[in-house]
């Protein structure tokens, strides 16, 4: 078996599992963050469910560690009260990013299982553990029963052959992988990475790469821990560790061999983590701000790289450099090593540990017209603010902050670039009709044909609305961050059906990106493929989604506004406007069971 197959088998009643199997797996560590935690509590309370094992259950407050937003503060306090009543451990606003704490505190070990309301829970692949981001219904079920259902994914092996270039950071490695595979060629796969020079990657570097498995579309990116990493984990956790390795005769859906020596320092252009380019093509692009942090690049090694560049230098006039360590332990280490003084002397803003710019309202957000170079994992429109975000390594970000424009550490000018201000943009307020969707096996409705790949959850339901928990309020914000569809919520009618393309719902684990369609009365979404977490969230919410192969829809000549009839059980689609029919993939058996149960809980 592959790594993921072994881990799933070890945490189930099965000795052997195969891709495509639906398995109930026990979860070693079950985590809710501050934005999802309140909904997890609500699900448990509303369904009169108890916490199965408080010792394996945790809250991590990392989305808004300042508690600066009133709704976040209210949700955090609700979680604290629930934790006190149920003897649940809280890693509060002073602790840092929950996924990093899970590794450093030994909440999950190599070969273990971990779920969280964080879509980057698959960061656990860095230590050879299984991690998965899930929506609040999944996490509530895990808290109540100690297990979740899971579809065993197919596995892919990537072998990086040859020598790693000397100037290549871990961020560059994953950007090169994104450049090669894009955001959906690895969609739904568990990925294992091997190679002679891969074995020398540090834990911090592995965390950077595994963290962006979500952006690659993968379920998880695995590394097998070497002796130095095992020694570190055993020392920090005080636990004996037996790692999991793939069998020599494990079966892989694909095997890719890439020449490591051809990898180059890269940046991701604004809009997509997979829109990558070498630095020369964007060099001297004027920036307004720079950000170092996130679960991808907030470790101590990342801060050391930045400090080495910033030593005895100043951030360019008018440029704001924001630095956010991943955990309080990293923050303290940076203080002990003198890095904090270097950052402050250079003119940087240093914040308390947390997710920072990836979450609305935190340090790292930018404004309309603002150009930011960031070490974050996502630069979807609106994800880190209303401006444009380039993704890069800590070295490039630090050098650019000093130069005032995008550059690398070998080409920092004696005089920084002159700052120029950006444009401003006013938010729009939308009003929508309210309706309730009707639960049926066969539905008929008007088609919205949205011919785009990779529509992510920030385009569907932006993170600035994450504190909304009332379903009736959600519909009005649907697609208001998807260019060309900002008025969708005002024009959609109850009973409409959305037909779109690959990787719909990529990105965050937010349940609202499903519930907003229920709020509007949308009957179903049909896509060529779905983001892994989004698919689970929709199934668990009893919201109908179906997938298709491209040739499936060619015969019915579907256009915007056509009326189609969809059978969830058989997969038959009839275009009643043209009297043409076809078949697509019907509901999974488990999907139909949950649908008929009106939801997972």
pLDDT at 468: 87
Task: Compute the distance between CA of residue 357 and CA of residue 95 in angstroms, rounded to an integer.
Answer: 17
Please state, as a whole number, how many other Cβ atoms lie within 10 Å of the Cβ of residue 418. 11
Residue 522 has pLDDT above 90, yes or no: yes
Average pLDDT over residues 404-419: 90
Phi, psi at 536, each rounded to 5° = -65, -45
Q: Where are the domains of the chain?
A: 3-262, 266-403, 442-596
Task: Compute the distance between CA of residue 206 and CA of residue 214 in angstroms, rounded to an integer.
Answer: 14
The conformational region for residue 246 under phi > 0 = left, psi -120 to 50 = alpha, else beta, is beta
Percent of the chain with pLDDT over 70: 96
pLDDT at 357: 77
Helix (H, G, I), strand (E, B) or coil at 255: strand
Of these ranges, 30-44, 363-377, 393-407, the one predicted with the greatest mean pLDDT is 393-407
Residue 581 CB partners (closer than 8 Å, separation 6+): 555, 556, 572, 573, 574, 575
H helical segments located in 49-135:
70-86, 98-104
Q: Which helix (H) or strand (E) holds 149?
A: strand 147-151
Residue 423 has pLDDT above 60, yes or no: no
The conformational region for residue 111 under phi > 0 = left, psi -120 to 50 = alpha, else beta, is left
Residue 383 CB partners (closer than 8 Å, separation 6+): 358, 389, 456, 458, 463, 507
Q: Are strands 147-151 and 155-161 parallel, antiparallel or unpaired?
A: unpaired
Q: How many Cα atoms are found within 13 Å in the side-chain-facing hemisphere of 20?
A: 1
Task: Compute the distance between CA of residue 221 and CA of residue 181 in angstroms, rounded to an integer.
Answer: 13
CB distance 184 to 454 below 8 Å? yes
Average pLDDT over residues 331-359: 93
pLDDT in tens, 245-291: 999 999 999 999 999 999 999 999 998 888 899 999 999 999 999 99
Confidence of residue 435 (pLDDT cuts 50, 70, 90): very low
Q: Which helix (H) or strand (E) holds 157?
A: strand 155-161
Task: Compute the distance between CA of residue 572 and CA of residue 556 in angstroms, rounded to an integer.
Answer: 11
Residue 507 CB partners (closer than 8 Å, separation 6+): 119, 214, 378, 380, 383, 456, 457, 458, 531
Q: How many Cα atoms are found within 13 Å in the side-chain-facing hemisphere of 531?
A: 32
CA distances from 27 to 146, 147, 189, 222, 517 (A): 6, 5, 20, 18, 30
pLDDT in tens, 196-209: 999 999 999 999 99
pLDDT in tens, 366-386: 888 899 999 988 887 777 778
Percent of the chain with pLDDT over 90: 82
Angle between helices 328-336 and 300-310 (to 10 degrees): 40
CB distance 259 to 162 below 8 Å? yes
pLDDT in tens, 90-128: 999 999 999 999 999 999 999 999 999 999 999 999 999
Average pLDDT over residues 23-37: 94
Q: What is the mean pLDDT of the chain?
A: 92
The DSSP secondary structure of 326-363, one letter per residue, reads SBHHHHHHHHHTTHHHHHHHHT-EE--SS-GGGSTTST
Confidence of residue 65 (pLDDT cuts 50, 70, 90): confident
Q: For Cα atoms 16, 20, 23, give the angle at the middle one, nearest 5 degrees.
A: 60
pLDDT at 420: 55
pLDDT in tens, 185-197: 999 999 999 999 9
pLDDT in tens, 287-303: 999 999 999 999 999 99
Q: Are strands 266-268 and 276-278 parallel, antiparallel or unpaired?
A: antiparallel
Residue 143 has pLDDT above 80, yes or no: yes
Task: Compute the distance between CA of residue 101 and CA of residue 61 in angstroms, rounded to an integer.
Answer: 11
Residue 429 has pLDDT above 60, yes or no: no
Average pLDDT over residues 123-151: 96
Confidence of residue 427 (pLDDT cuts 50, 70, 90): low
Task: Compute the distance between CA of residue 320 and CA of residue 334 in angstroms, rounded to an integer.
Answer: 20
pLDDT at 434: 42
Task: Compute the distance between CA of residue 588 and CA of residue 594 in angstroms, rounded to an integer.
Answer: 10
Average pLDDT over residues 494-521: 95
pLDDT in tens, 530-582: 999 999 999 999 999 999 998 989 889 999 999 999 999 999 999 999 999 99
CATH topology for 266-403? Aconitase; domain 3 (3.30.499)
The answer to whether domain 3-262 has CATH 1.10.10.10 is no
Task: Compute the distance between CA of residue 236 and CA of residue 230 in angstroms, rounded to an integer.
Answer: 10
pLDDT at 430: 55
Average pLDDT over residues 454-471: 90
Average pLDDT over residues 56-61: 96
Confidence of residue 364 (pLDDT cuts 50, 70, 90): confident
CA distances from 550 to 30, 115, 172, 499, 526 (A): 37, 33, 33, 12, 12
Task: Compute the distance between CA of residue 21 and CA of residue 144 in angstroms, rounded to an integer.
Answer: 23
CB distance 284 to 407 below 8 Å? yes
Residue 354 has pLDDT above 80, yes or no: yes
Rg (CA), the chain: 23
Task: Compute the distance between CA of residue 409 and CA of residue 397 in angstroms, rounded to an integer.
Answer: 9
Phi, psi at 322, each rounded to 5° = -115, 130
Q: 71, exposed or middle or buried, with CB in 10 Å at 0-12, 13-18, 19+?
A: middle
Pick the CATH number of 442-596 from 3.40.50.150, 3.30.750.24, 3.50.50.60, 3.20.19.10: 3.20.19.10
Task: Compute the distance between CA of residue 489 and CA of residue 292 in angstroms, rounded to an integer.
Answer: 36
Q: How many Cα atoms are found within 13 Å in the side-chain-facing hemisphere of 214?
A: 29
Task: Compute the distance between CA of residue 479 and CA of residue 9 in angstroms, rounded to an integer.
Answer: 39
pLDDT in tens, 226-252: 999 999 999 988 888 989 999 999 999
**What's the pTM?**
0.85
CB distance 155 to 253 below 8 Å? yes
Confidence of residue 362 (pLDDT cuts 50, 70, 90): confident
CB distance 245 to 3 below 8 Å? yes
Higher pLDDT, 437 or 57: 57
Q: How far is CA 242 from the centre of its chain?
A: 28
Confidence of residue 436 (pLDDT cuts 50, 70, 90): very low
């Amino acid at each position: 078996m592959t790594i993921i197959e072994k881990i799933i088998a070890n945490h189930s009643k099965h000795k052997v599992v195969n891709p495509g199997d639906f398995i109930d797996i026990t979860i070693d560590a079950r985590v809710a963050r501050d934005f999802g935690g309140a909904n997890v509590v609500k699900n448990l309370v509303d369904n009169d469910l108890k916490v199965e094992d408080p010792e394996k259950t945790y809250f991590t407050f990392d989305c808004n560690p300042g508690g600066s937003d009133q709704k976040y503060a209210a949700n955090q306090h609700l979680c604290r009260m629930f934790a006190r009543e149920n003897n649940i451990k809280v890693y509060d606003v002073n602790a840092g990013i929950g996924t990093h704490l899970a590794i450093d505190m030994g909440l999950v070990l190599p070969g273990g299982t971990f779920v969280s309301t964080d879509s980057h829970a698959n960061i656990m692949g860095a230590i050879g553990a299984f991690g998965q981001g899930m929506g609040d219904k999944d996490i509530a079920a895990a808290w109540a029963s100690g297990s979740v259902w899971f579809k065993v994914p197919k596995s892919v092996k990537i072998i990086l052959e040859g020598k790693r270039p000397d100037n290549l950071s871990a961020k560059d490695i994953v950007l090169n992988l994104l450049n090669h595979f894009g955001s959906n060629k690895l969609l739904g796969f568990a990925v294992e990475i091997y190679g002679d020079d891969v074995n020398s990657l540090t834990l911090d570097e592995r965390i950077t790469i595994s963290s962006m498995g979500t952006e690659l579309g993968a379920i998880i990116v695995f590394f097998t821990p070497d002796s130095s990493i095992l020694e570190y984990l055993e020392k920090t956790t005080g636990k004996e560790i037996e790692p999991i390795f793939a069998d020599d005769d494990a079966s892989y859906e694909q095997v890719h061999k890439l020449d490591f020596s051809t990898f180059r320092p890269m940046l991701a252009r604004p809009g997509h983590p997979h829109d990558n380019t070498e630095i020369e093509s964007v060099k001297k692009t004027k920036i307004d701000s720079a950000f170092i942090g996130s679960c991808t690049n907030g470790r101590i090694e990342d801060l050391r790289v930045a400090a080495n560049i910033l030593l005895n230098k100043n951030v360019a006039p008018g440029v704001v450099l924001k630095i956010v360590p991943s955990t309080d332990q990293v923050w303290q280490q940076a203080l002990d090593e003198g890095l904090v003084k270097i950052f402050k002397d250079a003119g940087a803003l240093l914040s308390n540990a947390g997710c920072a710019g990836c979450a609305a309202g935190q340090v790292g957000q930018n404004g309309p017209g603002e150009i930011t170079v960031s070490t974050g994992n996502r630069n979807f429109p609106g994800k880190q603010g209303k401006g444009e975000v380039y993704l890069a390594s800590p070295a490039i970000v630090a050098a650019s902050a000093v130069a005032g424009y995008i550059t690398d550490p070998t080409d920092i000018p004696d005089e920084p670039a002159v700052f120029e201000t950006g444009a401003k943009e006013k938010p729009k307020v939308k009003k929508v009709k309210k309706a309730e969707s009707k639960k049926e096996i066969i539905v008929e409705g008007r088609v919205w044909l949205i011919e785009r790949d990779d529509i992510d959850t920030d385009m569907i339901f932006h993170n600035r609305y994450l504190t909304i928990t009332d379903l009736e309020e959600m519909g009005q914000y649907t697609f208001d961050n998807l260019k060309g569809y900002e008025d969708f919520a005002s024009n959609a009618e109850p009973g409409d059906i959305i037909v779109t393309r690959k990787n719909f719902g990529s990105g965050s684990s937010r349940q609202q990106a499903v519930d907003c369609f229920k709020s509007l009365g949308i009957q179903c979404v049909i896509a060529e493929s779905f983001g892994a977490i989004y698919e689970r969230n929709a199934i668990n919410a009893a919201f109908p989604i179906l997938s298709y192969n491209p040739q499936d829809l060619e015969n019915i000549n579907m256009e915007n506004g056509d009326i189609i009839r969809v059978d969830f059980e058989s997969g038959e689609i009839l275009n009643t406007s043209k009297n043409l029919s076809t078949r697509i993939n019907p509901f999974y058996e488990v999907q139909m069971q949950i649908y008929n149960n009106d939801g997972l809980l």
